[in-house]
Amino acid sequence: MKRALTGFVGAVLEAWQELRIHRTRVLLSLIGVAVAVCSLTTVVALGAIVQQANEELSERSSGRPATLYLSAYSDGTGTGGGSGEIDGELMDATWADTLERYDVTYGSRVLSGSQNVGFVDGIVPVGVQAVDQPYGEMHRVRVSEGAWFTPGDALQLAPRLIVNQIFWERIGSPDLATHPTVKLGGQGAQPTTIAVVTGVTPVASYETEPSMFMLVDQFAAVQAADPTGGGGGAGGFVDPFAGGAQTQYEMWVPPALAEPLIPLLQRDFTAALGEGVQVDVFRQDFAQYGDDPFLVTKLVVGGIAVLVLLLGALGLVNIALVTVKQRVREIGIRRSFGATAGRVFFAVMMESVVATVAAGIAGVVAAVLVVQSPWVRDLVGQGMITDFPPFPVDAALLGLVAATAVGALAGLLPALVAVRVKVIDAIRY
Amino acid sequence: MSLLHLSEVTRTVIPPDQPALTILNGVDLTVEPGDRVSIVGRSGSGKSTLLNLMGLLDQPTSGTLTFDDRPVKSYSSAERDRVRGARIGFIFQQFNLLPGRTALENVTMPLLYASGTQFWRRKAIAAEMLEQVGLGHRLTSLPDRLSGGEQQRVAIARSLVRGPSLILADEPTGALDLDTGQTVMELIDDVATRTGAALVIITHDPAIATRARDHYRLDRGVLRRADAGVGERAAVLAVGGGGAAGPGASGASA
Ligand SMILES: Nc1ncnc2c1ncn2[C@@H]1O[C@H](COP(=O)(O)OP(=O)(O)O)[C@@H](O)[C@H]1O
Ligand SMILES: [Mg+2]
């Protein structure tokens, strides 16, 4: 055991000295290895980061795993009303009951609409996403200024707004601590409501229009006061209490509970809403789509990197072979001072490995610098990633393992040549 | 118990497209711990071949070779290498220092194949050894910056750094001028005496040979004792002069 340790340390030291002596030649062949390791590591790291970014983006749009969506519509055969309308109040009440019954903390109604907002340059209809307070957590809504709705916001008389960056800039980027307000409605002779901006969300680079989040109940109240205030849906009129058709209901539950919950929700809602109402419950988070849109790019760049790595290895083999042949005498001398054949093999092999590992470390460091650079972050994240993931350890490890493997591969041939050296012939003059 | 014993040792090589060539023929030789052995012989008589056998670098074609009373044939290849590293020190005519390595690195080299204290304290041990051969001030010099005598002194330090029980020197003064050769020879003698190591010196210089106690002559692969040969002593006196006669006298009279 003791001998194994000193043997290993000794061989690495020998290899290191050897490299020091041939450093220029070794350095040249190693540039290729370093570049290849760098690109390989970068590709893998970016792949992991892009995937996380995609997940985060899709979580924002369709929820975190597992998010259940519930919708109900009348199929016209029902007994209640007969007109195909579903009672929004009943729907909302059933929803609240259900959340309580199954102890679901994260549930939200989601209603899209439009609301007139008074800016200095006129009244403009602004897209509204009306949600309940838990929505922020459920969709990882990122807030760059201020904060997401608090449970207390629902009790405030003046509606609370979370506006996007464009909206915020349009009102002059005020400090949210000063409780900036905007006027909602006010077209023609309509009354206006004063709303307080409490948070700002960042925008993706492709967004150009102002938009905002409101709490469902506050949105409904504003719309009730001003039915023409921009219009809820395509029809231009929104029944403020019509949950039913327009409103989506979603809940975020532990993935293991999602499947068993679906039939229960279906049963409960069907029972509450009566005959003739079709209730759909389905899951729509990203876990359903396993596709990686960057797969082809990853394969191409990764393939090129592997190729470069192999070319670098070839250069290394070449140099190592040449130096081993020059060192036949030296190997003979070492053997006559007690170096075993195994030791000579290992030391020569280590020369390549130590060299490529050094190059690999340089390549990985370069890859970290590339991936963490603000420019690449912007390109990959599009400004929409909340927690930009740290450099994936897997990618760094892969880079180092690849470098070590290439070194071992490149060292194999020279090492075989080295053990074949006949000591007597090597030291004869 | 002998350190090294050769009995009826023959070494034959078959060069490509040529008849078999017997380099050593029926060699008998015993080396006890602390012995001083000299082997003289003309160039091509098989001296280096014999030394390679004694250094466990080569195996006899027939006959037996024992180290520590154990047949060398029974050692595995790695065992032979380890025994060689731990117990035998080589000094070559052409010094055979590693080019591009400092004097200190050269002397450290054998310690890289040791274990335990010798391995972990190798720098200190090597520096101390260079100090002992009078090169404490040249630790960082490269071989091509050293004179022939200095290079051979580095090589001597290297051969002794693991404290071997057998020193094998193949014409150690062959590449040096007369005076330097004398000094180097005295140094080898001195360190061998101090460490109690057995010393086998191969030379074609009878003046060097007389320093030993046991004298052998190798002639076309046949080894004979050359103790107290009258012609031998005459040759010694003629070539080496008075200086070499002193230490040799004790061996010759024994
Ligand atoms: N492997 C070998 N193949 C062919 N001939 C050899 C081989 N080894 C030694 N010889 C020959 O054997 C003879 C003795 O060699 P060597 O032991 O080196 O002599 P010395 O050291 O006394 O000058 C020389 O003629 C040499 O050419
Ligand atoms: Mg010779």
How is residue B226 annotated by DSSP?
A: -
Quote the tokens at residue A236.
């231009």
Q: Which of B23, B93, B220 has most ligand 1 atoms within 8 Å of CB, for mutation? A: B23
Q: What are the residues whose beta carbons fall under 8 Å from the beta carbon of A103, sequence distance 6 or more? A: none
Q: What is the pLDDT of residues B100-118, one digit of tens each?
A: 899 999 999 999 999 889 9
Res A141: pLDDT = 87
What residue ranges in A204-243 does DSSP mark as E strands? 211-215
**Mean pLDDT lowest among A275-289, B39-53, B221-235:** B221-235
More confident residue, B51 or A154: B51
For A428, which residue in chain B has the nearest alpha carbon? Answer: B48
Res B183: pLDDT = 87
For A9, which residue in chain B has the nearest alpha carbon? Answer: B112
> Which ligand 1 atom is the nearest neighbour of the CA of B49?
17
Q: In whole angstroms, what is the distance from residue A322 CA to residue A317 CA?
A: 9
Residue pair B26/B222 in contact by the 8 Å Cβ criterion: yes
* Model confidence, pTM: 0.65
- Answer whether A333 touches B (CB < 8 Å): yes
- Answer whether B128 touches A (CB < 8 Å): no
Quote the tokens at residue A162.
């979370």
User: How far apart, in Å, do the first and last CA atoms of chain A sit?
Assistant: 38
- Say whether B86 and A13 touch across the interface (CB within 8 A): no
Res A81: pLDDT = 44
Ligand nearest to the CA of B40: 1
Quote the tokens at residue A70.
């519930």
How many CB atoms are closer than 10 A to CB B31? 22
Quote the tokens at residue B177.
């001028």
Res B248: pLDDT = 39
Q: In whole angstroms, what is the distance from residue B207 CA to residue A68 CA?
A: 103
Q: Is A157 exposed, middle or buried (0-12, 13-18, 19+ CB in 10 A)?
A: exposed
Closest by CA to B186, choosing from B201, B164, B166, is B201
Cβ-Cβ contacts under 8 Å, B93 against chain A: 429
Counting Cα atoms < 13 Å in the Cβ hemisphere of A69 gives 14
Q: What are the residues whose beta carbons fall under 8 Å from the beta carbon of B99, sequence distance 6 or more? A: A330, B142, B143, B144
Residue burial A162-178, b: 16+ Cβ < 10 Å; e: rest:
bbbbbbbebbeeeebee
- Answer whether A227 touches B (CB < 8 Å): no
Mean pLDDT computed over B135-154: 92
Determine the distance separating the centroid of ligand 1 and the alpha carbon of A423, expressed in angstroms. 14
Highest mean pLDDT among A41-50, A360-369, B172-181: A360-369
Pairing of strands B4-13, B21-31: antiparallel
- Answer whether B92 touches A (CB < 8 Å): yes
Res A226: pLDDT = 67
Determine the distance separating the centroid of ligand 1 and the alpha carbon of A421, expressed in angstroms. 18
In the predicted structure, residue A155 carries a pLDDT above the cut 90:
no
Cβ-Cβ contacts under 8 Å, B112 against chain A: 10, 13-14, 339
Cβ-Cβ contacts under 8 Å, A17 against chain B: 101, 105
Q: How does residue A293 score in pLDDT terms, banded at 50, 70 and 90?
A: low
- Answer whether A120 touches B (CB < 8 Å): no
Chain B residues 141-170 with CB within 8 Å of chain A: 158, 162
Residue with tokens 């191409």: A300
Q: What is the pLDDT of residues A365-409, one digit of tens each?
A: 998 888 888 887 777 666 556 566 778 888 888 889 988 988 888
For chain A, give every domain's residue range.
2-60+292-428, 63-283
Cβ-Cβ contacts under 8 Å, A344 against chain B: none
- List, in sequence order, the alpha helices (H) in A327-340: 328-336
For A331, which residue in chain B has the nearest alpha carbon? Answer: B98
**Mean pLDDT lowest among A266-270, A285-289, B153-157, B164-168:** A285-289
Res B29: pLDDT = 95
Mean pLDDT computed over A197-211: 87
Closest by CA to A305, choosing from A37, A48, A46, A27, is A37
* Residue in B100, B105, B115 nearest the CB of A3: B115
For B53, which residue in chain A has the nearest alpha carbon? Answer: A424
In the predicted structure, residue B235 carries a pLDDT above the cut 60:
no
User: How far apart, in Å, do the first and last CA atoms of chain B sit?
Assistant: 21
Q: Average pLDDT of chain A?
A: 81
Res B97: pLDDT = 94
Closest by CA to B223, choosing from B26, B52, B58, is B26
Pairing of strands A160-164, A248-252: unpaired
Cβ-Cβ contacts under 8 Å, B96 against chain A: 329, 333, 427
Res A133: pLDDT = 92
Chain A residues 45-104 with CB within 8 Å of chain B: none
More confident residue, B78 or A2: B78
Q: What is the pLDDT of residues A301-311, one digit of tens each?
A: 778 878 878 88
Res A198: pLDDT = 93
Q: In whole angstroms, what is the distance from residue B61 CA to residue B76 CA?
A: 17
Ligand nearest to the CA of A424: 1
Mean pLDDT computed over A349-365: 89
Predicted ipTM beyond 0.95 = no
> Which ligand 1 atom is the nearest neighbour of the CA of B171?
21
Q: Which of B113, B123, B166 to mutate to test the interface with A (most CBs of A within 10 A)?
A: B113
Res A294: pLDDT = 62
Residue pair B250/B36 in contact by the 8 Å Cβ criterion: no
Mean pLDDT computed over A69-88: 64
- Say whether B85 and A338 touch across the interface (CB within 8 A): yes
- What's the maximum distance between 2 C-alpha atoms anywhere in chain A? 112
**Mean pLDDT lowest among A7-21, A247-261, A369-383:** A369-383
Mean pLDDT computed over A167-184: 91
More confident residue, A385 or B138: B138
User: What letter represents residue A51's amino acid?
Assistant: Q
Mean pLDDT computed over A140-149: 89
Q: In whole angstroms, what is the distance from residue A245 CA to residue A238 CA?
A: 11
- Between helices A341-372 and A328-336, what is the axis angle to 10°? 120
- Answer whether B55 touches A (CB < 8 Å): yes
Ligand nearest to the CA of B172: 2
> Which ligand 1 atom is the nearest neighbour of the CA of B23?
12
Closest by CA to B3, choosing from B55, B74, B79, is B55
- Say whether B48 and A428 touch across the interface (CB within 8 A): yes
- Answer whether B175 touches A (CB < 8 Å): no
In the predicted structure, residue A132 carries a pLDDT above the cut 50:
yes
Provide φ and ψ at B71, rounded to 5°: -60, 130
In the predicted structure, residue B12 carries a pLDDT above the cut 50:
yes
Q: In whole angstroms, what is the distance from residue A41 CA to residue B110 CA?
A: 40
Q: Which residues line ligand 1 (CB under 6 A)?
A: B 13, 15, 21, 23, 41, 43-49
Determine the distance separating the centroid of ligand 1 and the alpha carbon of A228, expressed in angstroms. 112
- Answer whether B90 touches A (CB < 8 Å): yes
- Answer whether A341 touches B (CB < 8 Å): yes
User: What letter represents residue A134's amino acid?
Assistant: P
Q: Which of A337, A424, A427 to mutate to test the interface with B (most CBs of B within 10 A)?
A: A337
In the predicted structure, residue B56 carries a pLDDT above the cut 90:
yes
Q: Average pLDDT of chain B?
A: 86
- CA distance to partner chain B, nearest, from residue A371 (Å): 41
Res A264: pLDDT = 87
Q: Which of B13, B112, B122, B167 to mutate to test the interface with A (most CBs of A within 10 A)?
A: B112
Q: In whole angstroms, what is the distance from residue B212 CA to residue B193 CA?
A: 12
